[in-house]
């Protein structure tokens, strides 16, 4: 039973990973990544790491990938197909592949894969439960845990600052006057008067700004 | 023994698991027309009219007629739609809803035919995170449906619902942290057991958490006043605009199913699950009925709020979620943690 589940999940994970890079439509790439993450969660379940599996689904498949899908379907989705990169990009990619291969080769040759003949660590009751993970995070791994939370806080503050700068404001400014964003319309761009065939009232630019300001 | 329940102290035989899945499936799907009927009938009463009263006694068979009507309708598909995703999306919605319903406990472990059977689908050690994981996947049902329809109304509705769901998921999760800290466990049956031994339902000490949870649950189930994903005045019907027939029925059922699940979790977490107030201790076979009655009452609150409050604007929705509910839920978790540490 667990062998079948393992092979289904493993094939799903590898197929998803291949799909992310092979599919030309970015929307389907993101969906392939979702499939990959769900397969990984199934593999975690096989290792009796229930909490890690749930966190994987809630955080990565649920929140992060939805945001990816959000962005891709707004700005990239369907219409634009990804094209193969140029020569420099391919050179960089080849370099990365070589580096990864060397790293894996060192790891395999260094350890000699001795553990693969043994049965692995025995199962301890309570392993992988939220209680044990919480205990490990607050005792053994307290420092990395706190540093990671600080890092995430910095990232969140940075995102807020960047978003405000993009909108044309800096921190500490008064809220923007909304009427500043209403640009005077140029003529013959689909006003209601043109649509009903009425005469254009004036050849100068209209000034709806004054009414809105009150 | 299934994978998720690996840490449960006893193993249920496979035929009991299949039987339990079937019963939970049937009970869940019977709750959906009930919720639908309550929604329409109560809304009618709130608005000083009768509501449906033509099909069957008191109009009680109206949901069946609705479902039959939807099932025999033509399965229309727009030319711009993406075929397989268009068909897959409603299935994701209903599937995740069914699976998430499995953790709502209807009673403690009982003796049936000489074996120990828990009156719930599964009781994993990750408890309510199981439901959150599947509601996280349910977002894809809406997003893929909206995107694959190839229609702007569907697309905008899907984007709205995705933003709304992932915003309120945070507050919803954090609002339950207080309960989890108080009980010291994630397992739903053990949370009910804690309420039994403490002699107090958790909505009293965890009142802030309860309020935040209910508001977030309204948003998570896209019920009014948070029904922006299908604001009919702006978006026709949101992500399911292009759907008709059986697929629309799936979306519709999934929506009410989510309401039933949210009510079930609220009942378990805050209203003592299968317990009765004032220390009444009924025989075991009453337990599932108590849970069902409590779920029905919480659904009535959903309908009541729908009849009372107008729909929020989009910016109001976002500022309520991020600036009010999230700080409240965080403060609740923090205060609960401090109190639990001090009082121990």
Nearest to B138 by CA among B185, B178, B173, B91: B91
Q: What is the pLDDT of residues B255-268, one digit of tens each?
A: 888 899 999 999 98
> Which of A1, A2, A23, A58 is most worth mutating to test chain B (most B CB atoms within 10 A of its CB)?
A58
- Report in angstroms the alpha-carbon separations of B95 from A39, B178, B256: 17, 29, 13
Lowest mean pLDDT segment, chosen from B75-79, B86-90, B132-136: B75-79
- List residues of B whose CB lies inside 8 A of any A CB: 3-4, 6-7, 124-126, 129-130, 132-133, 135-137, 139-140, 143-144, 147, 155, 159, 162-163, 166, 169, 173, 186
Residue B331: pLDDT band by 50, 70, 90 thresholds? Answer: very high
B36 within 8 A of B63, measured Cβ to Cβ? yes
Structure confidence by residue, pLDDT tens digits, B205-237 = 888 889 999 999 998 888 878 887 777 667 777
Nearest to B182 by CA among B202, B210, B157: B202
Q: How many domains does chain B have?
A: 1
Provide the β-strand partners of residue B111.
B116
Compare CB distances from B132 to A27, A58, A66 and report the shortest one's residue. A58
- CATH architecture of the region A1-81: Up-down Bundle (1.20)
Q: Where are the domains of chain A?
A: 1-81, 141-173
Counted across chains A and B, CB pairs separated by less than 8 A come out at 79
Average pLDDT over residues B290-309: 89
User: Cβ separation of A70 and B162 shorter than 8 Å?
Assistant: yes
Whole-number Å distance between alpha carbons of B235 and B67: 24
Bridge partners of B117? B110
User: Whole-angstrom Cα distance, residue B143 to residue B136?
Assistant: 12
Alpha-helical regions (H) of chain A: 2-22, 26-46, 50-55, 65-71, 87-111, 130-138, 142-166, 192-195, 209-213
Q: What pLDDT is stored for residue A71 in this prediction? A: 80
**Nearest-5° angle of CA B54, CA B58, CA B62?**
55
φ/ψ (deg, to 5) at B111: -90, 115
The tokens of B7 are what? 């840490």
d(CA A168, CA A172): 12
pLDDT at B6 over 50: no
What residues contact residue B285 under an 8 Å CB cut-off, 6+ apart?
Answer: none
pLDDT for res B3: 41
Q: In this structure, what token pair is assigned to residue B216?
A: 């977030």
Decide if B81 contacts B150 (C-beta within 8 A).
Answer: yes
What angle (nearest 5°) sits at the alpha carbon of residue B3, between those of residues B268 and B185? 35
Is the model's pLDDT at B2 over the cut of 70? no
CB contact under 8 A, A67 and B166: yes
Helix B128-148 to helix B245-270 angle (10° resolution) is 160
- Average pLDDT of chain A is 76
Nearest to B6 among A48, A66, A69 (CB): A48
Per the CB < 8 A criterion, the answer to whether A129 and B7 are in contact is yes
- The C-alpha atoms of residue B263 and residue B28 are separated, in whole angstroms, by 12
Tokens of B16: 């009991």
List pLDDT tens digits, range A137-160. 888 889 999 999 999 999 989 988
Give B112's DSSP letter: E
Nearest to B125 among A34, A50, A58 (CB): A50
Q: Cβ B125–A74 below 8 Å, yes or no?
A: no
Among B134, B125, B146, B64, smallest CA distance to B99 is for B134
Q: Do A126 and B186 touch (CB under 8 A)?
A: no
Over residues B177-204, mean pLDDT: 84
pLDDT at A126 over 80: no
* A80-A64-B161-B306 Cα dihedral, nearest 10 degrees: 180
HEC profile for B167-233?
A: HHHHHHHHHHHHHHHHHCCCCHHHHHHHHHHHCCCCCCCCHHHHHHHHHHHHHHCCCCCCCHHHCHH
Burial A151-171 (b: 16+ CB within 10 A, else e): eeeeeeeeeeeeeeeeeeeee
Instruction: Name the residue among A51, A57, A73 with its Cβ closest to that of B136.
Output: A57
State how far residue A57 is from chain B, nearest Cα, in angstroms. 6
Instruction: Name the residue in chain B with its Cα closest to that of A5.
Output: B3
Dist CA B100 CA B261 (whole Å): 7
Question: What are the chain B neighbours of A160 within 8 Å (beta carbons)?
Answer: none
Alpha-carbon gap, residue B50 to A134, rounded angstroms: 53
CB contact under 8 A, A130 and B186: yes
Quote the CA–CA distance of B142 and B90 in Å, as a whole number: 8
Contact A54 B166 (CB under 8 A): no
Instruction: Assess if residue B200 is contained within a domain.
Output: yes
What is the helix (H) or strand (E) element at residue B116, kind and residue range?
strand B115-118
Higher pLDDT, B344 or A149: A149
Reported as half-sphere exposure (CB side, CA atoms, 13 A), residue A151 has a value of 6
Taking alpha carbons only, the member of B259, B246, B234, B125 closest to residue B188 is: B125
Chain A CB contacts of B145 under 8 Å are none
More confident residue, B10 or A140: A140
Supply the pLDDT for residue A95: 93
**How close does chain B come to A62, measured CA to CA in Å?**
4
Tell whether A66 is within 8 A of chain B (Cβ): yes
Q: Among A50, A57, A77, select the one facing B147 at the smallest CB separation.
A: A77
Token pair 């699940």: residue: B261
pLDDT average, residue stretch A54-70: 86
Q: Which two tokens stand for residue B28?
A: 């869940």
Per-residue pLDDT at A181 exceeds 50? no
| Residue B79 in domain | yes
CA pair distance A18, B291, nearest whole angstrom: 47
- Determine what percent of chain B falls in helix, strand and coil, rounding each to the nearest 5: 70, 0, 25
Closest CB to A69 among B4, B136, B143: B143
**Cβ-Cβ contacts under 8 Å for B132 (sequence gap 6 or more):** A54, A58, A62, B169, B172, B173
User: How many CB atoms neighbour CB B276 within 10 A?
Assistant: 13
pLDDT digits (tens, 9 = 90+) for B100-121: 888 888 877 777 666 777 777 7
Q: Which of B29, B7, B4, B28 is nearest to B17 (CA)?
A: B4
Q: What is the DSSP string of B124-172?
A: -TTTHHHHHHHHHHHHHHHHHHHHHTT-HHHHHHHHHHHHHHHHHHHHH
Range of the domain at B289: 4-53+65-343
- CA angle A9-B23-B296, nearest 5°? 110
Put simply, the answer to whether B3 touches A2 (Cβ < 8 Å) is: yes
Nearest by CB to B126, from A46, A63, A130: name it: A130
In tens, the pLDDT along B240-260 reads 887 877 888 888 888 888 899
pLDDT of B12 reads: 67
The answer to whether the CB of B154 falls within 8 A of the CB of B80 is no
Q: What is the arithmetic mean of pLDDT over B42-55?
A: 86
């Amino acid at each position: 039973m667990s062998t079948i589940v393992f092979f289904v999940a493993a094939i799903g994970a590898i197929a998803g990973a291949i799909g992310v890079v092979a599919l030309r439509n970015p929307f389907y790439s993101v969906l392939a990544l979702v499939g990959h993450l769900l397969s990984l969660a199934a593999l975690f379940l096989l290792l009796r790491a229930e909490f890690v599996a749930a966190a994987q689904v809630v955080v990565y498949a649920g929140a992060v990938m939805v945001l990816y899908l959000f962005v891709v379907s707004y700005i990239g989705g369907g219409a634009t197909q990804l094209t193969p990169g140029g020569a420099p990009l391919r050179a960089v990619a080849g370099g990365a592949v070589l580096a990864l291969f060397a790293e894996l080769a060192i790891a395999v040759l260094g350890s000699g894969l001795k553990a693969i003949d043994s049965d692995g660590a025995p199962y301890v009751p309570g392993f992988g439960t939220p209680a044990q993970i919480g205990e490990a995070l607050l005792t053994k791994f307290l420092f990395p845990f706190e540093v990671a939370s600080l890092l995430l806080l910095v990232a969140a503050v940075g995102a807020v600052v960047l978003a405000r700068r993009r909108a044309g404001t800096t921190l500490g400014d008064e809220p923007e006057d909304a009427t500043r964003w209403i640009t005077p319309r140029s003529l013959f761009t689909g006003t209601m008067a043109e649509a009903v065939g009425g005469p254009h009232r004036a050849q100068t630019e209209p000034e709806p700004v004054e009414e809105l300001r009150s | 023994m299934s994978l998720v329940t690996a840490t449960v102290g006893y193993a249920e035989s496979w035929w009991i698991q299949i039987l339990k899945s079937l019963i939970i499936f049937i009970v869940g799907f019977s709750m959906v027309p009930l919720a639908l009927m309550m929604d329409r009938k109560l809304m009618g009463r709130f608005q000083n009219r009768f509501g449906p009263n033509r099909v069957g006694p008191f109009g009680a068979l109206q949901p069946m007629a609705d479902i039959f009507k939807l099932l025999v309708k033509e399965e229309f598909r727009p030319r711009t739609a993406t075929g397989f995703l268009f068909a897959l999306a409603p299935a994701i919605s209903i599937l995740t809803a069914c699976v998430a319903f499995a953790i709502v406990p209807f009673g403690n472990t009982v003796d049936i035919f000489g074996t120990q059977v828990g009156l719930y689908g599964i009781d994993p050690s990750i408890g309510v995170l199981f439901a959150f994981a599947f509601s996280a996947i349910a977002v894809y049902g809406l997003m893929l449906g909206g995107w694959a329809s190839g229609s702007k109304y569907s697309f905008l509705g899907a984007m709205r619902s995705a933003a709304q769901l992932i915003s309120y998921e945070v507050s919803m999760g954090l609002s339950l942290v207080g309960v989890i800290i108080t009980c010291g466990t994630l397992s739903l049956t053990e949370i009910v057991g804690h309420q039994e031994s403490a002699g107090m339902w958790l909505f009293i000490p965890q009142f802030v958490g309860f309020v935040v949870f209910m508001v977030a649950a309204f948003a998570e189930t896209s019920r009014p006043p948070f029904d922006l994903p299908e604001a009919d005045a702006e978006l026709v019907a949101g992500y399911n605009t292009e759907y008709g027939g059986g697929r629309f029925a799936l979306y519709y059922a999934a929506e009410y199913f989510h309401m039933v699940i949210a009510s079930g979790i609220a009942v378990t977490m805050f209203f003592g699950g299968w317990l009765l107030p004032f220390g009444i201790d009924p025989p075991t076979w009453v337990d599932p009925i108590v849970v069902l009655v409590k779920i029905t009452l919480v659904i009535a609150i959903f309908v009541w709020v729908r009849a009372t409050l107008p729909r929020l604007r989009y910016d109001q929705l976002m500022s309520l979620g991020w600036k009010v509910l999230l700080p409240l839920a965080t403060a609740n978790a923090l205060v609960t943690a401090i109190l639990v540490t001090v009082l121990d």
